[in-house]
Amino acid sequence: MKPITLLQPQKIVFGSDCINTFVEDYLKLGHKRLFVLTAPPIVPLIEPTLAKLKENGVSIEVFQNIVAEPTLNDFEAILKSAREFGADSVVGIGGGSVLDVAKLVAAFINSEQKAADCFGTGFIKAKGVWLACLPTTAGTGSEVSPNAILLDERDKLKKGIVSPYLLADAAYVDPKLTMTVPAKVTADTGMDALTHCIEAYTNKFAHPAADIYALQGIKLIAANLLRAVKDGNDVEAREALALGSLYGGLVLGPVNTAAVHALSYPLGGEFHIPHGLSNAILLPSVMKFNRPANLKKYAEVAIACGAPQGKDDDETAQNGVDFICELSKAVGIPQKLTELNIPQSAVDRMAKAAMEVQRLLKNNPREVTEQDAKDIYNSLY
């Protein structure tokens, strides 16, 4: 077996109401100035948590105006607020964008480095202040990954900063925090988590030590996403999705994603399509493209999804692609880029931009040329 490095927070807590464990743990640390990053719909859910911290002498600054796809400039403004507050600790309570910004704030608050100089892998020089992540979507898996994504306005492209120093000190995955997520966001983020697991399981750098997480994530999400979309109060489905998303996050560091994510970045960069939705609309088309390059793995994905076994791996793998196509439709994912107001005239420049994301394209089981990227985009018209 080839070597692999598994990175994750020192402490991962999973389970309903574990937000209370976060409070208990935080108060034992002795930090006094907590910078909280969240979003407006989450604030009412966490008011009792913040009140308890304040009662115990913690000064809190809440920043809740994070846009869906934060830019480099957005981040710099938030970082300035955290510095002015004098934060000695950071918590992100929200979806992937909130958690990514929280990770970056914690890393850069006392650093002379600039985030703009750290796009890519391994450029952050030192660990920042104490950080906790509490996801409110089942979703990006950002709470346990060493990755953070920002939109670089300079070339209208979403870019990743990857570093072990972006890992949270603790992640608290409380499925109850996902209960109020609307059906559409549940669908988009659930398909995003499924994409993480499928891309990690089938890519060139897949590894048995990560496969076990990816495969279990596929099983959990495929069996429960439609249930959660239909009934947001289905506790069992919400817990399964939260766990599946966590597993998807655990494979982002050691294995990472591939062509779905690379091709999705221009959709977010130029047209501001949310990350989860961008991945969701591309996943079936990229699976069709990749399937011949790794039939055995795609057949195993199909079985994990609950798709019927065919007479051989080829047929089984196709059944898996068909399952994902049907699931995508069933949970309400748009099937054409025109539904997202992306004109076909944008295909050439999107393909050109996607080719810049070699950090992820190199992982893909099948080489993607610029013409391939155009073909995949054009198949969605």
Joined together, the tokens standing for residue 346 give 């944008």
User: Which pLDDT does position 69 carry in this prediction?
Assistant: 83
Could you give the C-alpha distances from 285 to 190, 281, 288, in angstroms and in order? 17, 8, 5
Tokens coding 380: 């969605």
Instruction: Specify the pLDDT at position 280.
Output: 96
Residue 67: pLDDT band (50, 70, 90) is confident
Does the pLDDT at position 183 exceed 90? yes
Q: Give every CB contact of residue 225 below 8 A, 6+ residues apart in sequence.
A: 186, 187, 190, 191, 194, 237, 241, 327, 331
Give per-residue pLDDT as tens, 249-297.
999 999 999 999 999 999 999 999 999 999 999 999 999 999 999 999 9
Q: What pLDDT sits at residue 254? A: 94
Q: What is the pLDDT of residues 326-350, one digit of tens each?
A: 999 999 999 999 999 999 999 999 9
When pLDDT is averaged across residues 34-42 and rounded to a whole number, the result is: 96
Q: What is the pLDDT of residues 191-240, one digit of tens each?
A: 999 999 999 999 999 999 999 999 999 999 999 999 999 999 999 999 99
Looking at residue 239, its pLDDT comes to: 98
Q: Please give the pLDDT value at position 242.
A: 98
Q: What is the pTM of this model?
A: 0.96
* Domain 183-378, CATH homologous superfamily name and number: Dehydroquinate synthase-like - alpha domain (1.20.1090.10)
- What mean pLDDT comes out for the span 13-27? 97
Across the chain, which distance is largest between two alpha carbons, in Å?
65
CATH 3.40.190.10 correct for 11-178: no
> DSSP of 353-371, one letter per residue?
HHTT-HHHHTTSSS---HH
Residue ranges per structural domain of the chain: 11-178, 183-378
The single-letter DSSP state of residue 62 is E
Report residue 156's pLDDT band, with 50, 70 and 90 as the boundaries: confident
Give the whole-angstrom CA distance, residue 229 versus residue 248: 19
Residue-level pLDDT at 68: 77
Residue 178: the pLDDT is 96
Q: Give the separation between CA 255 and CA 251, rounded to whole angstroms.
A: 6
Indicate if the pLDDT at residue 155 is higher than 90.
no
Cα–Cα dist 228/64, whole Å: 26
